Amino acid sequence: MLTVDLERLGVQPGDWLLDAGCGGGRHCFGALDRGVHAIGLDLDREALKLARAGIQLRKAADRSGGALQGDVFNLPFEDSRFDRVICSEVMEHVHDYEAALRELARVLRPGGTMGITIPTATTEWLYLNLTREYFESPGGHIRVFAPRALARAMGRAGIRVEGVSFAHSLHSPYWALRAALGLHDETPGPTRAYRLFLMKASLSPLWIRVERWLDWIWPKSLILYGTRTHTGQLSETTHSARAGASAVA
């Protein structure tokens, strides 16, 4: 269940892709299945265990991958190392998102593409009105993003925004249930029932088509797609990317 459309991102076999904030590794899995070399990065050790296990299953002679622990402000890669960069549902968690975007742009080659996803403002305000915990829990969201603010910040980092899409409309009611019935409790009957529906819907061609239509009405996530310009900002210090990639491949 990918948030970023890898075809729209322009992934090609042989590309190097970074998924910063990879979680359990879903975008890495999708990239590896398309013949891409994929590196995931996240702070959550438990999520990285899942990512590494899935990546190991998908690695092959024509594609390598790995996952390492780290943060988006200090990427252990050299300038222009990657052809594609994904950062999904991270920017709403960090205070200095402009610094994070500059670091992501630094490791993306000129002409390479980036997909940044954030929750939609409509759903965020709904969940906030249902429970303050949504924003006050440790590690929770710290801002409601206006898409224009994110697009402008991407531009300042040297990423020319070229497209937008929406995703996960069927998840919007699920998180409304979680916010209303217990954000950290998945045991209430309605929550468990809807979670089961989501699992079945993700495998149903009919519901997949329905969700794509509903994404234009009630999406959970918004995705901005952009290309790094040749004038994008680069740091003066260069990290050793090939050594880092080899260590996790």
* Integer Cα distance of 5 and 16 in angstroms: 16
25 found inside a domain: yes
Phi/psi zone of residue 22: left (φ > 0), alpha (ψ -120 to 50 degrees), beta? alpha
Decide: pTM greater than 0.85: yes
62 found inside a domain: yes
Task: Indicate the number of domains in the chain.
Answer: 1
**Which range marks the domain in which residue 57 is found?**
6-118+148-167+223-248
What is the per-residue pLDDT across 82-117, written as a single tens digit (0 to 9) for each? 999 999 999 999 989 999 999 999 999 999 999 999
Tokens of 17: 């892709």
Q: Characterize 183-214 residue by residue with b for buried, 16 or more Cβ atoms within 10 angstroms of its Cβ, and e for exposed.
A: beeeeeeebeebeeebeebeeeeebeeebeeb
233 found inside a domain: yes
82 found inside a domain: yes
105 found inside a domain: yes
242 found inside a domain: yes
The residues facing 65 across adjacent strands are 38
Which pLDDT score is estimated for 137?
A: 75
Residue 230 pLDDT class (50, 70, 90 cuts): confident
30 found inside a domain: yes
Tokens of 192: 């468990």
Q: Which CATH number characterizes residue 94's domain?
A: 3.40.50.150
33 found inside a domain: yes
Which pLDDT score is estimated for 1?
A: 80
What is the per-residue pLDDT across 106-158, written as a single tens digit (0 to 9) for each? 999 999 999 999 999 999 999 989 988 888 777 778 888 889 999 999 999 99
